[in-house]
Structure 1
Amino acid sequence: MGKQWKLLLCLLILATSLLSGCWDNRELEERNAVLGIALDLVEIDGEEQYKMTVQIPIPIKIAGSSGEGGGGNENAVKIVSGIGRTVMEASRSLQLRLNQQLFVGHTRILAVSEKLARRGLSDIMDSFRRDPMIRRLMWTVVVKGRAATLLEIRPQLSQIPVIFQMEQIENGIRMGTIPDQSLGEYFNDSASKVAQPFLNYVEASQNELKWRGVAVFREDRMVGTLTPVETWTLMRLRNKRRGGMEVVPIPGTENEFITFRPKFMETKITFQKNDNAPGDTNITATFHCEVKGDLLESTGQKGGLTHSREITELEGIIKQEMERRAHEVVGKVQKEFNSDVLRLGLKLRAQHYHDYWKHHDWNEDFKDFPIRIVYTIKLQRLGMAM
């Protein structure tokens, strides 16, 4: 029996020696957690290089982290920059200036300058795609001007600027006014041979961050922007999102408007074949958009809406204006940008692969593809009236 126990003990020792354990563990206090990354182009000795700027929180300075109550938001974060010919070289240059290892597992925002976006993002995105620590749910935005200004703002409502910006974006997504466009969404669209990517477009000032719409890409290069109102139209056509409030002028009047807030949205795409159409483009796409919402105000309406005829008339005015705006947006992304941010090609390839798709180059033919938009407006709540 003694020999058996000795043999069992030897086997246990051998088994435990094969366990790796936490040989490479590192305490949180030994890391610099990066909350935000900004990338700009700078010229060094006549050569364009990348400037990486990061925002690092200082735990002891954050209010509530110590018995003294912490400090103000100007002391709660540290902003550090590094320069290099590649993103990883800039990261290495930045690391050499810090006393602890950089940790990007908690990074929430990646900002790139408009100049860099118009040059192309394929080179910088390569390193982020390969790094397993980078979150695919990170918010990626294009900044008007320097990207580093996004990390330098000092909002009055939060000690940590990146947390304020993250909550601002997430609140807009919940309200349906800002597209849910993360780093993972950009990777998916940029890798697709059909769809084209877009990113949120922002402008940073000293104390606030303003959402300016979206930056539209063709492959990896930014080719233009859409305003917030145009972006809401794009969200309805592409993502079936309700977007923001629509202020519609009343025809035949001066300074009289209807304010309409979409609540429920449904979009369907159908294709119609016309064998008698000239040339080889015999298919037309139609976006059918059904929008149900509330009437928030009508500056030209005196008293309440008591007749169904008046409600139908208002629905017709809203329908006409939203269709006009939608055709303008589609014309812009087709003729000016030639970028299928509508993801129309995905539907077309799935439904008409043999009779259209394999005979055409969608990246070139998208700009001339016939598209119709038809809205159906339903007013659900008209508000209180005396």
Structure 2
Amino acid sequence: MGLNRKRRKKTGKLLAVLLAFVPLVTGCWDRLELEERAVILGVAVDRAEPDNGESEDDVTHMPGSFPAPEQHKIRVTVQIALPGKIPLGPGEGGGGGGKPSETLWVIGVTGHTIDDAMMNLQQQISSLLFFGHLRAIVVSEEVAREGITNLNDFLRRNPEVRRMAWMMISQGKAEQVIRTHPPLERVPTMYLISTLDNAVRMGKFPQSFMGNFWSNSSKLGQEGLLPYVKMMSEQNMELAGLAAFRGDTMVGASEPLEIAAYMAIKHINPGGYRGVIQLQGTTVTIYATHRSSKIRVYLQDGEPRFSVKVSTEINVEEKTNELVSLSNDQILNKLEELGAVSTEKLYLEFIHKTQRWGSDIFGFGEYVRAKKSNYWNKNVKTMEKWQMMYNTVPIDVDVDFKIRRVGMKAK
């Protein structure tokens, strides 16, 4: 009896060890090789032309049983990476070494919704569509002004999509942006995202990934914004402004210099924009290096009013002649005075522009929710009510303009 008991105990221990290893040997049961995936790097969304002659097969709908959606057709263009063709390191070259046609397959399909178009695409290619490396989504301004609710819904429901991908609005056809052939990069998508990543580092644009856009659009007192880009004649892309949204609908686009106004009011550094001041027949170019801001909300006659205090540090970059001397304190004080007036006017005009759009991209409403919660809970309550109130809410701006450096030239 004792011997049998020892054997059963030993067998039980061995069985327990084997069972402990079972979860470890099942890790690759659902593996999918890289060559079996269609890795999508970029997506462009346009409204389909009604007379382009491109037919749509009945992949997701059928007359009678599953009727087609009533939405206007859209055209979706995707960049699919070719296995083994994407440069992986410095030894293979990062830019200018090959044509995009050697690294990517660009294909376009039509559909009534984003998922409908993707299913039409899946029906045409052999590999499974994979969105885990999706880095850039380009939406035409025409589609954005009609609303991108469907696009946001599709991307947010897909667990493969990264929230740190860039979504951008294009002036003109988004397909032209996704089909660009920039000489700086072998992969056009890498050129798009490096342009925006470097713009953030240089102070040319705030960090507004797709996840940031969704987060701001979900707030009751703030709206989302996205980069507004346009293609130039030399296969290069210009950051032409920021696209302001009201909910999921684009309502306006700023000028490039107004990006600086937004970043200053939101206390986003570093400074990255230059401006010019006219003084005594001389054009002086200035460069904002650092800015800070403080937004205060208070109630006046029972209604919210905002005070924005912005401090900006400035370097002098150049001047066009020797009529003014930058070693003269009076001249520097005059430049600071003129700069403060011009900057304050720029900030106020841009704020008023967003008020006409009804798009509070600055998040003034969130200050009311946080600092004057009783007023918000009693008088505002909803996003829609704040959107109506934002049009007329008074906002004061005060700018402190300080010149810190005038350069190495003494005279």
TM-score normalised by the chain length of structure 2: 0.85
Structure 1 equivalent of residue 338 of structure 2: 317
Q: In structure 2, give the amino acid aligned to 1:157.
A: L
Out of 278, 292, 296, the position equivalent to 1:266 is 292
Number of aligned residue pairs: 377
TM-superposed deviation, 1:310: 1.9
Query: Aligned residue for 1:352?
Result: 372
Equivalence map 1:211-226=2 (5 Å): 211-226=239-254
Comparing 294-303 with 38-47, which one deviates more in the overlay?
Answer: 38-47
* CA positional deviation for 1:78: 0.8
CA 152–350 in structure 1, closer or farther in 2 if over 3 Å, else same: same
Q: Given the superposition, is the C-alpha separation of residues 252 and 223 from structure 1 closer, same or farther in structure 2, using an over 3 Å criterion?
A: farther
Using a 3 Å threshold, how does the CA distance of structure 1 residues 268 and 184 change in structure 2: closer, same or farther?
same
Distance 1:62 1:350, change over 3 A: closer
Which letter maps to 1:348? V
Q: Structure 1 residue 49: deviation in Å?
A: 1.6
> Which residue number corresponds to residue 57 of structure 1?
81
Q: Which residue of 2 aligns with 1:233?
A: 261
Number of the residue aligned with 2:9: 4
Structure 2: gaps spanning 5 or more residues: 1-5, 56-69
Please list, as runs of the form range in 1=range in 2, the aligned pairs for 1:1-386 lying within 5 A after superposition: 1-17=6-22, 20-43=26-49, 48-62=72-86, 71-205=98-232, 207-250=235-278, 253=281, 256-275=282-301, 280-281=302-303, 283-299=304-320, 301-302=322-323, 304-334=325-355, 336-355=356-375, 358-360=378-380, 361-385=385-409, 386=411
The structural deviation recorded for 1:240 is 2.8
Please say which of residues 69-78 and 200-209 is displaced more in the overlay: 69-78
How far off its partner does 1:288 sit? 0.3
- Return the offset for 1:244: 3.2
State, as a whole percentage, how many aligned pairs show the same letter: 29
Contact kept? 2:43, 2:138, Cα under 8 Å: yes
Q: Which runs of 5+ in 1 are unaligned?
A: none
User: For the Cα contact (< 8 Å) 2:324–2:331, is it kept in 1?
Assistant: no
The two structures have a TM-score, normalised by structure 1, of 0.90
Deviation above 6 Å: which 4+ runs of structure 1?
A: 67-70
Deviations 1:195-224 (A, max 9, x none): 011111111246111111011111111111
Deviations 1:82-131 (A, max 9, x none): 22222112111112222221211111111111111001111221111111
What is the distance in 1 between the residues matched to 2:92 and 2:365?
59
After superposition, the C-alpha distances for 1:311-334 in whole angstroms (9 at most, x for unaligned) are 111111111100111111011111
After superposition, the C-alpha distances for 1:280-332 in whole angstroms (9 at most, x for unaligned) are: 53x42111000112111233554642232221111111111001111110111
| Distance of 1:64 and 1:175 partners within structure 2 | 26
Structure 1 stretch 225-234 or stretch 68-77: which is displaced more?
Answer: 68-77
Structure 1 range deviating more: 149-158 or 307-316: 307-316
Question: What is the CA distance between 1:42 and its match in structure 2?
Answer: 1.1
8 Å contact 2:280–2:323 — kept in the other structure?
A: no
**Are 2:48 and 2:75, in contact at CA under 8 Å, matched by a contact in 1?**
yes
- Kept in 2, the 8 Å contact 1:150–1:204? The answer is yes
State the Cα distance separating 1:242 from its structure 2 match. 4.7
3-state SS of paired residue (2:408): coil
Q: CA RMSD in A?
A: 2.5
Is residue 37–residue 111 contact of structure 1 (8 Å, CA) maintained in 2?
A: yes
Q: State the Cα distance separating 1:227 from its structure 2 match.
A: 0.6
- Secondary structure at 1:74's aligned position in 2? helix
- Say whether the 8 Å CA contact 1:62–1:71 is kept in structure 2: no
Q: Assess, with a 3 A threshold, how the Cα gap between structure 1 residues 300 and 359 changes in structure 2: closer, same or farther.
A: farther
1:150 alignment partner, SS class? helix
Identify which range, 19-28 or 215-224, moves more after superposition: 19-28
